[in-house]
Amino acid sequence: MIEAVLVMALGAVVLGAALGYAAVRFKVEGDPLVEKIDAILPQTQCGQCGYPGCKPYAQAIAKGEAEINCCPPGGEEGIRKLADLLGREFKPLSAEHGVEKPKRVAFIDEQTCIGCTLCIQACPVDAIVGAAKQMHTIVAVQCTGCELCLPPCPVDCISMVPISETVETWKWTYPIFEVKRAA
Amino acid sequence: MMLKKLFAFNGGVKPDYHKGESNHLPIAAAPLPAELVIPLHQSIGGVPHPLVHAGDCVRKGQLIGGPDGNVSSAVHASTSGTVKAVEPRLMPHTSGLSAPCVVIEPDGRDEWIEHAPVPWRSMSPGEVRDALRDAGVVGLGGAVFPSHLKVNPGKLGHLDTLVINGAECEPFITCDDMQMRERPEGIVKGAAILRDLTQAKQVLVGIEDNKPEAVAAMRAAVERLKAERIEIVAVPTRYPAGGAKQLIRVLTGIEVPHGKRSTDYGVQCFNTGTAYAVWEALELGRPLISRIVTVAGNVETARNYEVHFGTPMQDVIALAKAKPDSDRVIMGGPMMGYRMPSAAVPVVKATNCILVGSKALFPPPPPEMPCIRCGECALACPVDLQPFEMYWFSRAKIFGKAQEYHLFDCIECGCCAYVCPSRIPLVDYYRFAKSEIWARENEKTAADTARERYEFRLAREEREKAEKAAKLAAKATETKAKLAAQAAAAAAAPADAEAAGAAVPPEPTSTATNDPKALIAAAMARAQAQKAVVHPENVEQISPEKQAEIAEIEARRAKLREVAKAAQPQEDQ
């Protein structure tokens, strides 16, 4: 009887030690779900979802505090991906957060810019170059099109320019064939 | 003659070749058009930047587009004349989009810029590569990959085999065939240059055995030039034997695996036209400004023309006389070619063939029927892929799975669509999936950059805040310490002060240290004292008139200040 208890106890200790070691050795840093959600979000950092950036929105979704349909730049495809990941029901984009727009970048009219640096402070990805009383300009490749630089501009010199398709970025379309009535 | 053991690739098809239509007439020079439209971006890699402006006079062979970085190739004026504009024009691309082009009005003199042979034997490999890049030499088989990037011995340090690709497997196209028949010496000399540059042990020129004249001409040229280690090999005619990896497999038996390059196995491949262009660029010093183009299909007399880059395709088609029922222009062959948005697009370095089509020649595809998973496409695939799986996942837009089936190893040869009993345009699906995956990949990279930059900004703001707080804290402790020291001094001082009997100024005492009013008063007194100490500079040697002027201005300022002071309280109310 006592041997049996000892054997069981020993087993429990060994397994417990192994599990404890594994918990320390293979500890997961951060919340993997937040990372996964963040990877789906478009990283525009526009704050249209009501959170200060994509990461906070991802955290809110992971906690179940936020709906998955609050991200206009991610669009319908982003919502579908989130719904797939989280096993939630697909919902159309919530209208109060905005509408899906084609991708655009900000453009500063350099004739009008007075060099106030307000847009530089607003840009979440540091895509605006300039200094006080010096003309500012936008690094187009880094601009996410978040539009956060528009409201602070005192002279309204920033406009959003749609990105036009070039030979390099052109995509083959999905093959579509006319369905004809069989004779 | 030594018999060479040849290998075979799986799959492939035998379409109608239609080669005899265009290879019975010698190559003719196409006349200069009224206007040359030379696109700046004619090769894989960076877009060359324009070096000329509207109104400039250029000469034949003059550099008009400088290569943008190393993965790019130069562009030259095809003839002498005047630059009319540097502007976006319709590109020879299925999209029907425009891109920057240099528009040249020929002056008819066709005057060369000064050029001299490149002393490539005495140059370092890097210099030779730069010379090839600046001569605009790119792969003329159709992929237009900059050749200078391929002219290196690779990781192994030497090449075993240099393959010169004269297979030309695609139907209708005979430009390499005619060049090999008429200009074999240039090709062999170019192959010898490439052999020396890549330090290849042997050169194998693969030519499909449906071109016996080309094989004979090339063999004769090798004999005549006594070219060493160059062998002309006739390979079985089977589409797509002219694919680089397929020809390498046929000639050497080496199957280049997924994700590897042929140079990892000591093999490199160039087109015959490219070899000729290398010879022209290095031995004659002539940049690449024209190429041989087959005009075939629905035309009266199909033929090969030497065409200057920038010539509108319709001008070349007019020479061959298109039949009235022609309704489309294809660049390339019927299997892999691209439909052009208009016949007005220019001939570029990638244009090996201008194929004129009609409804009779290429009937519209019958309706697509469901895939029955018969596996015919897998048998026909020369890359040993599973086309029906790739089709399934591309169609369903499950791109990850499509990539798992090695979608990007697909060479878009069209064999699968050719044999498909359900007549599914499989390649269209692959092209769609590939471009979609590329776009997503780019989007993802952009998103990752944005995330990184956003996080960096947050970290920076955090750090700045912490630094500011630390600075303030340090200053506060410093002030406190100073005040404490002063208090201590004051506490020690009274005895001395009383002994001296002097009036002690109201120094802050230990009780006053915590009194903000006293602190402010002390700070103001200090500021006043500092102000009194500071003298304005450059006032010692001023003439009395100047002095008076300054005084006057000062008086005016004081008056203004008073006015402003008087106005302020009113505003506040």
If you measure CA to CA, which chain A residue comes closest to B449? A142
Contacts of B482 (CB under 8 A, 6+ apart): none
Q: Nearest by CB to B436, which of A127, A142, A171?
A: A171
Per-residue H/E/C for B84-110: EEEEEEECCCCCCCEEEEEEEEECCCC
B18 lies in some domain: no
pLDDT tens digits along B392-450: 999 999 999 999 999 999 999 999 999 999 999 999 999 999 999 999 999 999 999 99
**Domain-terminating residue out of A62, A97, A132:** A97
Report pLDDT for B414: 94
B129: containing domain: 28-33+121-358
Tokens 């971006």 found at = B41
Lowest mean pLDDT of A109-113, B368-372, B488-492, name the range: B488-492
Q: What is the DSSP string of B504-517?
A: PP----TTGGG-HH
B185 and B243 assigned to the same domain: yes
Task: Find which of B95, B420, B444 to mutate to test the A interface (most A CBs within 10 Å of its CB).
Answer: B95
pLDDT tens digits along B183-214: 999 999 999 999 999 989 999 999 999 999 99
Contact A43 B425 (CB under 8 A): no
If you measure CA to CA, which chain B residue comes closest to A179? B367
Residues 125-154 of A with CB under 8 A from B: 125-127, 141-142, 144
If you measure CA to CA, which chain B residue comes closest to A35? B451
A13 lies in some domain: no
A70 and A38 assigned to the same domain: yes
If you measure CA to CA, which chain B residue comes closest to A144? B450
CATH number of the domain within which A135 lies: 3.30.70.20
A108 lies in some domain: yes
Domain count, chain A: 2
Contacts of B265 (CB under 8 A, 6+ apart): B160, B254, B256
B397 and B268 assigned to the same domain: no
Q: Which residues in chain A have their CB less than 8 angstroms from residue B95's CB?
A: 165, 167, 170
**Using 50, 70 and 90 to split pLDDT, how confident is the model at A27?**
confident
Amino acid letter for position B464: E
Q: What is the DSSP string of B159-187?
A: EEEEEEE----STT--HHHHHHHH-HHHH
A115 and A61 assigned to the same domain: no
Q: What is the DSSP string of chain A?
A: -HHHHHHHHHHHHHHHHHHHHHHHHTPPPS-HHHHHHHHHS------TTSSSSHHHHHHHHHHT-S-S---TTTHHHHHHHHHHHHTPPP-PPPGGG------EEEEE-TTT-----HHHHH-TT--EE--TTS--EE-TTT-----TTTTT-TT--EEEEEPPP-TTT--PPPP--------
Q: What's the distance, Cα to Cα, between the start and end of chain A in Å?
A: 87
Res. B502: pLDDT tops 50: no
Cβ-contact B161, B267 below 8 angstroms: yes
A128: containing domain: 102-165
B193 and B324 assigned to the same domain: yes
State the smallest CA–CA distance between residue A84 and chain B in angstroms. Answer: 13
Report pLDDT for A101: 86
Q: Which residues in chain B have their CB less than 8 angstroms from residue A177's CB?
A: 365, 367-368
A55 and A75 assigned to the same domain: yes
Contacts of B58 (CB under 8 A, 6+ apart): B52, B64, B77, B80, B81, B82, B83, B104
CATH number of the domain within which B227 lies: 3.40.50.11540
Domain count, chain B: 2
Report pLDDT for B137: 95
To the question of whether residue B371 is assigned a binding role by annotation, the answer is: yes
CA distance B42 to A168: 12
pLDDT tens digits along B235-288: 999 999 999 999 999 999 999 998 888 998 999 999 999 999 999 999 999 999
Contact A43 B435 (CB under 8 A): no
Q: Does A179 touch chain B (CB under 8 A)?
A: yes
Report pLDDT for B572: 45
**Domain-terminating residue out of B450, B466, B489:** B489
B223 lies in some domain: yes
B400 and B319 assigned to the same domain: no
State the smallest CA–CA distance between residue A173 and chain B in angstroms. Answer: 6
If you measure CA to CA, which chain A residue comes closest to B365? A177
B422 and B464 assigned to the same domain: yes
Q: Nearest by CB to A125, which of B97, B435, B454?
A: B454
A133 lies in some domain: yes
Average pLDDT for A134-160: 92
State the smallest CA–CA distance between residue A92 and chain B in angstroms. Answer: 20
To the question of whether residue B175 is assigned a binding role by annotation, the answer is: no
Q: Which residues in chain B have their CB less than 8 angstroms from residue A175's CB?
A: 425, 428-429, 432
**Domain-terminating residue out of B462, B489, B516:** B489
A42 and A92 assigned to the same domain: yes
B8 lies in some domain: no
- DSSP code at position B212: H
Q: Which residues in chain A have their CB less than 8 angstroms from residue B443's CB?
A: 42
* Chain mean pLDDT for chain B: 90
To the question of whether residue A70 is assigned a binding role by annotation, the answer is: no
Res. B154: pLDDT tops 80: no
Q: Does B68 touch chain A (CB under 8 A)?
A: no
B226 lies in some domain: yes
A160 lies in some domain: yes
Q: Pick the most confident of B53-67, B362-376, B553-567.
A: B53-67
CATH number of the domain within which A47 lies: 1.10.15.40
B333 and B414 assigned to the same domain: no
A93 and A132 assigned to the same domain: no
Average pLDDT for B539-550: 79
Cα-atom radius of gyration of chain A, to the nearest Å? 26
Q: Nearest by CB to B457, which of A54, A55, A125?
A: A125
Contact A38 B451 (CB under 8 A): yes
Contact A172 B425 (CB under 8 A): no
Query: Which stretches within B226-338 are classed as H helix?
Result: 244-252, 272-279, 313-320
Contact A144 B457 (CB under 8 A): no
To the question of whether residue B415 is assigned a binding role by annotation, the answer is: no
How many CB pairs below 8 Å do chains A and B form together? 76
Report pLDDT for A12: 97
Amino acid letter for position B540: E
**Domain-terminating residue out of B358, B393, B427:** B358
Average pLDDT for A92-118: 90
- Core vs surface per residue B119-137: b (16+ CB within 10 A) or e: ebeeeeeeebbebbbbbbb
**What is the ipTM score, two decimals?**
0.83
User: How far does CA B444 lie from the centroid of its chain?
Assistant: 19
Q: Residue B509 half-sphere exposure, CB side, CA atoms within 13 Å?
A: 8
At B50 the three-state DSSP class reads: strand
A49 lies in some domain: yes
Residues 435-464 of B with CB under 8 A from A: 435-436, 438-439, 442-443, 446-451, 453-458
At B398 the three-state DSSP class reads: coil
A109 and A69 assigned to the same domain: no
CA distances from B479 to A81, B207, B465, B475, B523 (A): 58, 90, 21, 6, 12
pLDDT tens digits along B515-534: 778 888 888 888 888 877 76
Q: What is the DSSP string of A39-55?
A: HHS------TTSSSSHH
Query: Closest Cα partner for B330 from B307, B359, B302, B296?
Result: B296
Global model pTM greater than 0.90:
no
